[in-house]
Chains A and B, each alone.
Chain A
Amino acid sequence: MLHLQIITPEKIVFDDEVDQVSLPTATGQITILPHHVALVTSVKPGELIFKKHSKEELLAAGFGFAQVAADNVKVLVDLAAPEEELEERKIEEAKKAAEQALAQKHLLSEEEFATASANLQKALAQLKIKHRRRRI
């Protein structure tokens, strides 16, 4: 068993034992099983999947970091939304706003551009989870 903690600046989203967890990292999706080697990595927007008693759960993750050590995994992200909390309309709006901002790229400062593209990536990650769930 792995002890998984998912923490955002607002609250602890998840804190329980799981069988395995997949993280979207800067170097690609990685899956962590018990007795994984100690690891520190950076997390990028995508799907965070964890399994408990062969029941799979999906979260939309934002930017952050993860630390794996001796059967406990701590994930620090600025967004961690479970599937039930995702509202498609809101996400679409966020996506549109971010895309619009990016379209006027030449008017933006470097910082605004980075924020807009980060928002877009997060919105896309959430949408992906939403759509995927519908297929199943």
Chain B
Amino acid sequence: MAQIREIKKRIKSIQNTQKVTHAMELVAATKMRRSQEAAVAGRPYSHTLHEILSKVQSASHEKRHRLLKTNSSPNQLIIVVSSDRGLAGGLNLNVFREILKAETRNTSFITIGKKATQFVAKSGLNLTASYGSEEIPFLQLARLLTKMVSDDFVAQKYSKVSLIYPHFQSVVLQVPTWIQLLPIPPISQIEEEIPSGDFLFEPSADLILDSILKHHVLTQIYQVLVETKASEHSARMVAMKNATEAAGDLVDDLTLTYNQARQEAITKELLDIITAQHAFE
């Protein structure tokens, strides 16, 4: 009897957990749709910016812009982008594993999201600044980061600034991806009908290049922040879907055991009655 009650209790508690994970799955699914739309909607902008940038760069005489040229500082800076909350499968862990694989001597870190902050602090790495991923609007956060890293880079504090984040490949696949922010890697030229030499630049190619390069860094960071959100929600949705399914399997198993135990108890009771009756006859 005691065993039966025990099993019943476990089934109840697993069913409660299942309800919670199912609710989280639904919430993550809605949030994912929204952030996915935002991530996709930002693409025409960055694509066109890239197009203009490639034109401006080939026309500009200033080949050694301060954001393009390398310097000899021994230090480098890594920006780690993660989620604020857990329960998202291996999303953050995969990113952190990549960092542990990378060269981290003379490296400072800027973290976005609580999980990354905790990871960097725990691993005893050099943490320079950290931001929550939900406290500041993305565009503002991107602006802040751009300002911070480009100032430090121009002041030759770092020779390289890179960024790692979970890239949104598909709903079930988020790949940790490195982006080199500074020095800005050579921009791939886009072939078009009109050669860039035929373009007129107002006020001048050099002036536009300066502001467009800064903007390029900003757009990259912004796009990364938006994509990380999409990755987070889809990873959480998948993780919660798996959890709900696993809970369902457990409940099925336990129900079977419960029925067996119940049947056993009934058989035993019947046996008792029958043997008692036989004894009387």
Name the interface residues of A33-74: CB closer than 8 Å to any CB of B: 37-42, 65, 67, 69-70, 74
Complex partner residue of A40 from B199, B215, B222, CB under 8 angstroms? B199
- Nearest chain A CB to B142 CB, angstrom units: 9
Tell me whether B14 is interfacial, beta carbon within 8 Å.
no
Tell me whether A115 is interfacial, beta carbon within 8 Å.
yes
Q: In the docked arrangement, what's the CA distance between A76 and B193, Å? A: 21
Do B41 and A11 touch across chains, with their CB atoms under 8 A apart? yes
- Nearest chain A CB to B269 CB, angstrom units: 70
Tell me whether B84 is interfacial, beta carbon within 8 Å.
no
- Nearest chain A CB to B158 CB, angstrom units: 19
| A41, closest chain B residue (CB) | B202
Do B198 and A38 touch across chains, with their CB atoms under 8 A apart? yes
B3: chain A residues within 8 A (beta carbon): none
B55: chain A residues within 8 A (beta carbon): 40, 67
Q: Known: A67-B55, A70-B193. Contact between A39 and B202, CB under 8 A?
A: yes
Q: In the docked arrangement, what's the CA distance between A12 and B56, Å? A: 23
Q: Known: A39-B201, A41-B202, A42-B208. Contact between A115 and B143, CB under 8 A?
A: yes
Do B201 and A40 touch across chains, with their CB atoms under 8 A apart? yes
| A111, closest chain B residue (CB) | B147
Do A7 and B45 touch across chains, with their CB atoms under 8 A apart? yes
Listed stretches B46-54, B90-98, B247-255; interface member: B46-54
Do A39 and B199 touch across chains, with their CB atoms under 8 A apart? yes
Tell me whether A27 is interfacial, beta carbon within 8 Å.
yes
Tell me whether B35 is interfacial, beta carbon within 8 Å.
no
Instruction: Count how many chain A residues have C-beta atoms less than 8 Å from C-beta atoms of the other chain.
Output: 25
Q: In the docked arrangement, what's the CA distance between A121 and B124, Å? A: 45
Cβ-Cβ contact count across A and B, 8 Å cutoff? 75
- Nearest chain A CB to B276 CB, angstrom units: 81
Tell me whether A20 is interfacial, beta carbon within 8 Å.
no
- Nearest chain B CB to A135 CB, angstrom units: 30
Do A38 and B48 touch across chains, with their CB atoms under 8 A apart? no
A26: chain B residues within 8 A (beta carbon): 202-203
- Nearest chain A CB to B154 CB, angstrom units: 14
| A74, closest chain B residue (CB) | B48
| A30, closest chain B residue (CB) | B202
- Nearest chain B CB to A106 CB, angstrom units: 20
Tell me whether B139 is interfacial, beta carbon within 8 Å.
yes
Do B219 and A40 touch across chains, with their CB atoms under 8 A apart? no
Do B200 and A39 touch across chains, with their CB atoms under 8 A apart? yes
Contact with B along A94-125 (1 / 0, CB 8 A): 00000000000000000100010000000000
Q: Known: A38-B194, A40-B55, A40-B208. Contact between A65 and B49, CB under 8 A?
A: yes
Tell me whether A126 is interfacial, beta carbon within 8 Å.
no
A74: chain B residues within 8 A (beta carbon): 48, 51-52
- 11 sampled A-B residue pairs with Cβ under 8 A: A7-B48, A8-B45, A11-B41, A38-B200, A40-B52, A40-B200, A41-B201, A41-B208, A42-B207, A42-B208, A67-B52
Listed in ascending order, the chain A residues whose CB lies under 8 Å from chain B are 5, 7-12, 25-27, 37-42, 65, 67, 69-70, 74, 76, 78, 111, 115
Listed from nearest, the 10 A-B pairs whose CB atoms lie closest are A41-B202, A39-B200, A38-B199, A11-B41, A7-B45, A9-B45, A67-B52, A111-B147, A27-B202, A40-B201
